[in-house]
Structure 1
C-alpha cells in the first residue's frame, strides 16, 4: 500500500488516480474499523490502541486535520491508558499536540499535551521523543508575541541533539523552524540559509510537508528583498505540494502572501483572485463544521472526564451503601453505632449530591466557554479579514483608479472605459465583502444605525419592502451583544427574503428598563420550523446566540399567513454598565 501511494505521488495528481487512491484508503479504513470491533469484542485493548493509532494515520492521509482523525487518536490514547502503556499514551500526546498547533484557538491545549509528553520522556531518558517534544513546543513559542530571546538558542541546541542522536528527520524540522524564526525576526539572509539547508535534507528524505514549508519560507525571503516574481515562483511550488497534502492552513498563508506579491507587481487581477482564495481557505479552516468540532473536542473530552468521575462516584456510593447495610445488620444491638451509621450515611449523600451539582455546573461552564470561544473566534477572524481587505487590497485598487483618472487623456477610449468599469466593479465587490464581514456602521454608530443601513441596502436590491421601527430609549449596548443581535436580525432577514416570498418585512425593536424585545414579521407563505437544530444551521445559530445572551426566541408561523419571530433579552446582559457578558 505504501508503494502504491508513492507511485501515485510520482505519476501526478490525475483525477483517475485520485479516485483510485481514495477508494483504496476508504477500503483500508473500513478494514481497520472491522478489526477494532473484533479486538474490542475480544478485550484485546493493547492491540485496539494500536489499531486506533493506525486509523488516525489513515484518516490523516485522506482528510488531513479532521475531526475523524482527532477522534481516532483520542480513542487510541484512551486504550493505551487503559492497558498502562505509557510510551504509547504519551506518543499520542505528541501527535495531538502537533495537530492542535495548526489551530490558533487550540494552541494553549497543544502546549499542555506537548509539555506533559516531554516531562515523561525526560524521566525515561527517551532522547528522540524529547527532541520531538521540544520542536513541537518551539513551533508554538515562535508564534507568540514577542518572540522569546532564547528561542534561537534553544532551536540550535535541539538541532545539535538531533545530530548527536542521529535524528535527520527532526534535524530537518529544526532547521525549518530556525528559518521561520529568523523571518519573524526580520533577518531574511539567515532565514534563507536555514531554509535552503532544510529543503535539501527534506528532498533527500522525501518529507513533502517540509519541502512545501521551505519553499514557502524561501518565497518570503524573496518578498523581503522585493524580488516578487521569484517569490511567486516559490509560492507556486509550495502551493502544489500543500494542495496534495491537504494542508489548509499552509494554503491559506500561501494565498495571502501570493496576493501581496501580485499587488507589488501591479497584477491586481491575480492579487484579487489570491485574496479570494485566502478568504475561502480561512472559512474552510475556521468556520467549517469539521474545525469547529475539533475545537470543541478538547472541551468535550473534559466534559466526558467529569461525567466518568461522576459515574465512578456513584459506583463508589453504591458500594458504600452495601457496606453500610452489612454494618447495620451487624450493629443492630448497638443504638449508638446505629445512630453514628445513619449520620455517616446522611453526610455521604450530602457530599455525593454536592459533587453532582458541582459537576453539572462545571459541565455547563465548559459548554458556555466553548460557545463563547467559537463566537469570539468567528467575529475576530471576520474583523481581521475585513481590515485586510479594506486596508490592503481596497487601498491598492483606489490608488490604481486615481492613477487611471489622472492619465485618462493618455489612454484610448477602447481601453479607458472597460478599465474604469473593471476597477469600479472590483472596488465595489471588495467593499461589499469587507462590509458583510464587519459592518462599518455597527462598529462606528451602534446597532440601530447599522440595521437602518442594512435595510436601506436590502431595499435597493430586493422587491420585498423592509421597514424598521424602534420604540423606547434604547441604551448603548456592549459590542458583543450588538454584534450578536445584528447577526441574528441579518440571518432572519436573509431567511425571509430567500424563503418567505413576502411583500413586506417589518422589524420592530422595543426597549424598557428590564428587557429588549425584537420582532421580525413577514406576510409571506409561512411554514413550519423544526425544533431539532440539526435540521438547519441558521436556526441553530440564532438559538445559540440568543441563549448565550440569556434570552428567548419564539417562532410563530402558519401556511399563507406569514411568519413572526419574537426575541426577548434581559437588559442587564446587554447594557454597557455590565462590562462583560457573565458566564
Structure 2
C-alpha cells in the first residue's frame, strides 16, 4: 500500500469509526458494516445507504478483498450520482475507487473514474475538485510514461491551487512536478520543486489542515531519494536523517508507513557508504515499525539491507536469516502482485469487451451522424458553388457584353473622329487653302501694277508675308490632322514624310526601316498605325530630349510589329502617375485595333515601345 492510499483510506475509516472499533480489515469490521447497510435497506432508506456502502467498501479494501470493495464502491457511486449527492461522489467514492484501481494497476479504470469526476467538477464549478482530478489524471499519465501530457495537467493543478490560496495543494502540485522531473532524470528541476514546496511549509502564514512537520519530513525524504539517484550519498544521508529527526519529534502526526520508509532509506544510504553499524540501527527501527501494520514493501527492503549489512560485518548467520526472510517476503509480494495482475487482466478483459460493444454502437451512431452532416454540408456547398458559378457566369457575361459595347463605342468614336479629322483636313486643304491661294494671287497682281503709293505698297508686302505665314500654318495643321500623303501613298510613305519633317525641324535623327510591306493596308489600319506612331514621336520631341530615334515596322503573316526606341531621359514606366495623355492615347488606339502595347522605360535609360497589331 503506497503512502497516498494508506493515509486516505485510514483517514476515511477513522472518521466513520471502523478502525477505532475493530481491527482494520477484520471479519468483524466487515460484518459490522454489512449489518448497518442491511438496516438501512430494511428501512428503505436509499439515501441513508450511501455511508454504509462506503464503510463496507473500506472494510473489504482493508481486508484486501478488492473485487468486493470495488463492487460496493461502484454501487455507492451510482447511488450518489442518481441522488445528486455530489459531495460524496467527488470526495469519497471516486477517490477510494481510484485507490483500488491504482492498487490493482488498472489505470484504464482509474482514468475513466477521474475523467468523469473532472467533468462533474467542472459542471459544478468546483475548483478544488477540478484540481484534485487534474492531479490524478496527470499522475496516471505519468505512470503510463506520457510525461508531456502529464506535465500539462500538473501545471494546471498548480495554477488552480495557487488561485485557491491552498498551500497544501500548492505543495502537492510541486511534489507532482518533482516526481515527473525525477522520471525525466532532470534532478536539478526535481530538487528545485521540492525546495519550493518546503518554503510553502516554512511560511509562518501558512495554515494547513495537517501538521506541517509531516510534509517537511516527506519533502526531506524525497530530496534524499533524488540525491541517492544522483549518487550524491552524503547529501542523501543528510536529508534522510533530517526526515527521521522531524518524524521522531512529531511522532503523533507522522504516517507510520512514511516513518518506516525514512528509516529504511537512511539505512540503505548508510550501507552504500559502508557504515554498517549505523545502517543496522536505522534498518532495525524501520523493520520494527513496518511489522505493526505489515508494510510488506518496507519489510522486504529492510530485510534485504539488513542482510547486506550483516554480510559486510561478516555476521553470516544473521545475514542468511534476513536474506531468507527477504526472499520469502519477496515471493509473497510477487504472488500477491501476480494475483493482482490476473485480477486486473480479467477485469480489463471484461471492460474491454464491454467497451468494444459500446464503441461499436457509438461508432455506428457517429458514422450515420457524420454521414448525414457530410451530405447536408455537401448539398449546401454544391448549392452555394452552383449559385456562385451562375452569378460569376452572369457577371462575366455582362462584363464581356459591356466591354464589347465599350470597344464598339470606342471604335465608333475613334472612327468618327478620324473621319472628322479627314474632313477638316480636306476642307482646310481644298477650300480654305484655295481661298488663301486666290487671295494671294489677287494681292500679288495689285502689287505688280505699281500704281500704289510707296507706303501702301509696303503695307501690301507685309500683308502678303502674313498671308504666306497663314498658308504655311494652315498646311501644317492640315498635315497634322491628316497628311495628304497618307491617303495618296499609304502609311509607309506618310511616316517617312513625318520623320523627314521632324529631322528638319529638330535635332533628332530618326532611323526608319520597314519590312514586308509590298502592298497597302486597309485605310483604318494605316490611319491607326500613323496616329500611334505620331503620338510616340510627339512624346519623343516634347519630353524625351533624345538625340536619336529608331522606328521599325515589320509585316508578318498575321500581325504587324512596330518598334519605337529613343535614347532620351526615359521615365518610370511602373508608376501609373508617370503615364501622360500621349501614352494613354497610344494605348487606346492600340486597344481599338485589338493590338497589344508594351512600354519599357527607366529614368536615364531611354524608352522602348513594342506594338503588335493583328490583321486578316
Does the pair score TM above 0.5? no
TM-score under structure 1 normalisation?
A: 0.44
